C-alpha cells in the first residue's frame, strides 16, 4: 500500500502537491498556498502600489485554481505557473480599472521593484562601494530586463519559464537577460577602475 502523508510538507515537492490538488486534496491546496503566497504577493507588489489589491489578485488566482482544478494541466512548473497567473491577473485588473485605462495597456505594466544590497555579507569598504555601484546600475535597467533578472536569479526560473511568465518567446526572454547582463558588464567594467582608484586614494 502506498501511503501518502501530506502532513510531511518538507518532503513533498510542488508537482506532487499539484497532482493531489487536482484530485481534490484540500490539504495539498493549503500547503501550496502557504508555500507560495508571500512571494507571489511580493512579486505582485512590484507592479502596482496597492497591496490590498495585489493580495486580492493572488487569492483570486488560487480560487480559480481550486474551482477549475479538473481542467488544470499536470505538466506545469507550479511556481512559474503561479507567477505567470498573478502577473496576468494584475495586468488585467489594471486594464479593467477605469482610472488607469488612459495610462496603461497590457505592455506597460512596469516592474517597479528595486533590488537592495546584502549589507550583512559585506565587511569591507571596497566591496561595499563596488556593490553599491553595481546595485545602482542594476536598478537603472529597463523594467523588463530587471524583471527578467528577478525571475531568473531570485525566483530561479528557467529561461523557458520566464518566457511563459512574460508571455514572450524563448528567444526574446533570452535576449532580455542577455542584454541586461551585457549592459551591466559594460557599464561596470568602464567604471570599476575609477572606483578602485578612488577607494585606494582615500586609504
Nearer to other proteins, 1 or 99 (CB): 99
34: phi > 0 → left, psi -120 to 50 → alpha, else beta; which? alpha
Q: Which of residues 79-138 bind other proteins (CB under 8 A)?
A: 115-118, 121-122, 127, 130-132, 134-135, 138
Nearer to other proteins, 123 or 202 (CB): 123
Quote the CA–CA distance of 73 and 58 in Å, as a whole number: 19
Window contacting other proteins (CB under 8 A); options: 9-17, 63-71, 76-84, 165-173:
63-71
What cell does 116 get? 537592495
Report DSSP state, residue 119: G
Note whether 133 and 191 are within 8 A (CB): yes
Nearer to other proteins, 89 or 152 (CB): 152
How near is the Cβ of 136 to other proteins at its closest, in Å? 9
What is the residue-wise DSSP string for 10-45?
GG--HHHHHHHHHTT-HHHHHHHHHHHHHHHHHHHH
Coil, strand or helix: which one is 127? helix
Nearer to other proteins, 1 or 102 (CB): 102
What cell does 110 get? 512596469
Coil, strand or helix: which one is 89? helix
How near is the Cβ of 200 to other proteins at its closest, in Å? 17
Note whether 7 and 55 are within 8 A (CB): no
Nearest Cα neighbor of 78 from 8, 23, 31, 24 is 31
Q: Does 63 bind other proteins (CB under 8 A)?
A: yes
Nearer to other proteins, 52 or 107 (CB): 52
Among 56, 110, 167, 187, binds other proteins (CB under 8 A): 56
Nearer to other proteins, 156 or 160 (CB): 156
Q: Does 66 bind other proteins (CB under 8 A)?
A: yes
Quote the CA–CA distance of 43 and 47 in Å, as a whole number: 7
- Given the rule CB under 8 A, which residues bind other proteins? 30, 33-34, 37-39, 41-42, 55-56, 58-60, 62-63, 66-67, 115-118, 121-122, 127, 130-132, 134-135, 138, 149-150, 152-154, 156, 177, 181, 185
Amino acid at each position: 500500500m502506498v501511503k501518502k502523508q501530506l502532513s510531511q510538507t518538507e518532503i513533498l515537492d510542488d508537482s506532487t502537491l499539484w497532482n493531489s490538488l487536482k484530485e481534490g486534496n484540500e490539504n495539498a491546496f493549503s500547503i501550496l498556498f502557504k508555500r507560495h503566497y508571500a512571494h507571489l504577493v511580493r512579486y505582485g507588489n512590484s507592479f502596482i502600489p496597492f497591496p490590498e489589491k495585489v493580495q486580492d489578485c493572488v487569492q483570486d488566482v488560487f480560487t480559480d485554481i481550486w474551482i477549475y482544478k479538473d481542467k488544470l494541466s499536470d505538466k506545469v512548473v507550479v511556481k512559474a505557473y503561479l507567477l505567470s497567473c498573478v502577473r496576468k491577473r494584475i495586468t488585467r485588473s489594471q486594464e479593467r480599472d477605469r482610472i488607469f485605462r488612459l495610462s496603461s495597456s497590457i505592455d506597460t505594466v512596469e516592474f517597479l521593484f528595486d533590488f537592495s544590497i546584502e549589507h550583512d555579507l559585506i565587511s569591507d569598504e571596497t566591496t561595499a562601494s563596488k556593490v553599491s555601484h553595481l546595485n545602482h546600475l542594476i536598478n537603472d535597467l529597463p523594467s523588463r530586463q530587471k524583471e527578467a533578472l528577478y525571475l531568473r536569479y531570485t525566483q530561479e526560473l528557467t529561461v523557458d519559464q520566464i518566457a511563459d511568465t512574460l508571455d514572450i518567446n524563448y528567444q526574446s526572454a533570452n535576449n532580455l537577460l542577455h542584454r541586461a547582463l551585457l549592459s551591466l558588464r559594460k557599464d561596470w567594467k568602464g567604471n570599476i577602475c575609477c572606483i578602485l582608484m578612488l577607494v585606494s586614494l582615500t586609504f
